[in-house]
Amino acid sequence: MNTGQVLLVDDDPTLLQALPHAISLRMSGVEVETADSAQVALAMIQQHAYDAIVSDIKMPGMDGLDLLATVQKQHPETPVVLMTGHGEHDIAIRALRGGAYDYLLKPIDRDDFMASLQRALQTRQFRRQIEEQQRALERYALSLQRLVEQRTAELRASNAAKDAMLSMIAHELTSALTGVKGMMGVSNLQRPSSNGMEQVRQGVVESPLQRLERLIHDLQDASFIQTNRLALHCTRSDLVELCRSVLDAYLAGTGGALVFEILDNHLQAVVDPVRISQALLNLLANARKYSPEGSPISVTLQRRGREAIISVRDQGPGIPEEQLPHIGEPFYRVPGSGVLSGASAGLGLGLYLARTMVEQHGGRLEVQSQPGNGSTFSMVLSLEAACAEH
């Protein structure tokens, strides 16, 4: 059954009487109000939103097409059915182009009139349903947006709390370590210096104190990175020389099997040599730790386009594919992986530090690994200055 409120506009008083009567007989749920001019109709439209408007086109003063234009502006959701005389096809076309829902020819055929009005009311009903669904969707989208904002704020707060905690722990441990070393009469093991070679201690058999110091330095670097306090001191560096001195120092400490392949002899890049050495050492230390004692490790330095690639390849058990996306996350350790030779396991920060340090140079850390087939970690560095030279 159709329901709704209809406004009927016509300057013909006979039609204004006959049509509402016919509607009340055939569509009992429909209420009809009438206006004998477009001006009167306009005033009524300001007061009330009708479900459908049926209007004559030709009326003295304002005509049905002008009325249609106003309804389109003020109540675009209200279907307007226009009525016009026989033979006035151009007017009918203008009506449709102007956005009329339908048009009827006079003299009005009652069945056509009822069918058209019924469709117009149904259309209004569908439009209302769509509007309601849209509003419900908008409400839902808004509630989702609020939820995301709330969760983001919570995450930010807990992340900031974690950063503050990490920074505090690193700071407290550093001062405790300085105190212990003072009591033991051990000189301060330094933070990375200008050539970064103090870092070449991971390969050497470490004393418990040295190991503790390395872990604390890693924690401190992680804290610097997470609070954007890690500053790079970049300078134009010879990458062949940089790799060679890191490897020499590493070999002097471990005496392990290591092959260094230089595929391009003149590779210079603007980098922080301390941090790049530190990243390379972390990769070397891992290659040693996570592969069997004595198995060969190869380091390759090569150019690919505008990039230099320093790769460290080992013959270890490799990393399962599903773990690869997590490699380089802070504190991440592959479940079940154990140290196979040399130094003891760390905190899961070595690759995080290597990755972020390389990334801060505008580069990236790539991993290729297959279980049983070893792993290759590659530092990809831009040969064009990616960080400011000091």
Summarize as ranges the residues that interact with ligand ADP (CB under 6 A): 282, 286-287, 290, 314, 316, 319, 327, 332-334, 337, 345-352, 375
Nearest approach in angstroms of CB 313 to ligand ADP is: 9
Nearest approach in angstroms of CB 351 to ligand ADP is: 3
CA–CA separation, 202 and 194 (whole Å): 18
Nearest approach in angstroms of CB 219 to ligand ADP is: 11
Nearer to ligand ADP, 79 or 196 (CB): 196
Nearer to ligand ADP, 53 or 216 (CB): 216
Kindly report whether the peptide bond that precedes residue 107 is cis, defined as omega within 30 degrees of 0: yes
Nearest approach in angstroms of CB 279 to ligand ADP is: 11
The H-or-E segment that residue 368 falls in is: strand 364-369
Nearer to ligand ADP, 62 or 334 (CB): 334
Nearest approach in angstroms of CB 319 to ligand ADP is: 5
Nearest approach in angstroms of CB 254 to ligand ADP is: 15
The H-or-E segment that residue 56 falls in is: strand 52-56
Backbone phi, psi, residue 4, to 5°: 140, 170
Nearer to ligand ADP, 64 or 256 (CB): 256
Nearer to ligand ADP, 50 or 290 (CB): 290
For the stretch 61-70, contacts whose Cβ atoms lie closer than 8 Å and that sit 24 or more positions apart, written own/partner, are: 61/37, 62/37, 62/38, 63/38, 64/9, 64/38, 64/95, 65/91, 65/94, 65/95, 65/98, 66/38, 67/9, 67/38, 67/41, 67/42, 68/95, 68/98, 68/99, 68/100, 69/98, 70/42, 70/45
Collapsing DSSP states into helix, strand and coil, what is residue 333?
A: coil
Nearest approach in angstroms of CB 212 to ligand ADP is: 14
Nearest approach in angstroms of CB 292 to ligand ADP is: 11
Cβ 21 vs Cβ 68: under 8 Å: no
Nearer to ligand ADP, 273 or 317 (CB): 317
CA 73 to chain centre: 39
Q: In this structure, what DSSP letter does residue 346 have?
A: -
CA–CA separation, 343 and 302 (whole Å): 29
CA–CA separation, 230 and 222 (whole Å): 9
Q: Which residue is at the shortest CB distance from ligand ADP?
A: 346
Nearer to ligand ADP, 257 or 345 (CB): 345
Nearer to ligand ADP, 81 or 310 (CB): 310
